[in-house]
Amino acid sequence: AQSVTQLDSQVPVFEEAPVELRCNYSSSVSVYLFWYVQYPNQGLQLLLKYLSGSTLVESINGFEAEFNKSQTSFHLRKPSVHISDTAEYFCAVSRGLSGYSTLTFGKGTMLLVSP
Amino acid sequence: NAGVMQNPRHLVRRRGQEARLRCSPMKGHSHVYWYRQLPEEGLKFMVYLQKENIIDESGMPKERFSAEFPKEGPSILRIQQVVRGDSAAYFCASSYGGDGVETQYFGPGTRLLVL
């Protein structure tokens, strides 16, 4: 079984400041890792994912996340946030083995960007 | 290329009524997942289906909830005799394959309110 912990329920920041959203996971097997973003009253959109290879993955809109196996973490970072980044961010894991796997989500972190 | 479609987007039911939620996966996807998002909670897996088969329903409540994905038509999540605790957002996701490496694409959700 896997579990995901997002330590912060809300992160308020000012526009153009850097931000880090924390995610830790627990699993007895290897995992794949995902960050999803949810804008108000919308579905989840995939932001980025780690499957294998380079531990640093990037999204097209400036976010990046680094897989740290020893610390079982997959923190999300952005060097300079915009107002439009205000949304809820969910970290998720799936089992990294053959055969089907479903997603296990954290409780989410609400990123609040103010001018 | 249409994404995952869900309808209705909003559904209001009185206690004891039935709720039917529909999900049309992305074109070419034959794997469908249902998740439930309770207020201030992350998404919780409910059921995973392929065409005409339920693969994993370990997250489904034992009573009143059922799901299907017929050979033709959308996947249906059915809740009989709804109670106030069923009020939540229900998200459907689809993927091309079922392995953990596959990206799940989410629909906009159905927000169920039980009065």
User: Residue A51 carries which DSSP code?
Assistant: -
**Interchain CB distance below 8 Å, B99 and A103:** no
Q: Which residues of A touch B7 (CB under 8 A)?
A: none
- Mark yes or no for CB contact B45/A95 under 8 Å: no
* Reported confidence tier of residue A95, pLDDT bands at 50, 70, 90: confident
- With 90 as the cut, is the pLDDT of residue A88 above it? yes
Task: Convert the pLDDT of each residue in B29-48 to its tens digit.
Answer: 999 999 999 887 789 999 99
Give the number of other CB atoms < 10 A from CB of residue B88: 20
Interior angle at CA B97, CA B100 and CA A49, nearest 5: 40
Confidence category of residue A83, pLDDT binned at 50, 70, 90:
very high
Question: What are the CB-based long-range contacts (under 8 Å, 24+) for A14-18?
Answer: A14/A113, A14/A114, A14/A115, A15/A81, A15/A82, A15/A83, A15/A113, A15/A114, A15/A115, A16/A80, A16/A81, A16/A82, A17/A80, A17/A81, A18/A77, A18/A78, A18/A79, A18/A80, A18/A81
Question: Which residues on B lie below 8 Å from A100 (Cβ)?
Answer: 31, 48, 55-56, 98-100
Residue of chain A nearest B10, judged by CA positions: A41
- How remote is the C-alpha of A74 from its chain's centroid? 7
Which positions ≥6 away from A12 have C-beta within 8 Å?
Answer: A112, A114
Q: Which tens digit of pLDDT belongs to each residue from B5-21?
A: 999 999 999 999 999 99
Does position A19 have pLDDT exceeding 80, yes or no? yes
How far is the C-alpha of A36 from the C-alpha of B7, rounded, in Å?
22
How far apart are the CA of B99 and the nearest CA of chain A, in angstroms? 4
Q: How confident is the model at residue B92 (pLDDT cuts 50, 70, 90)?
A: very high
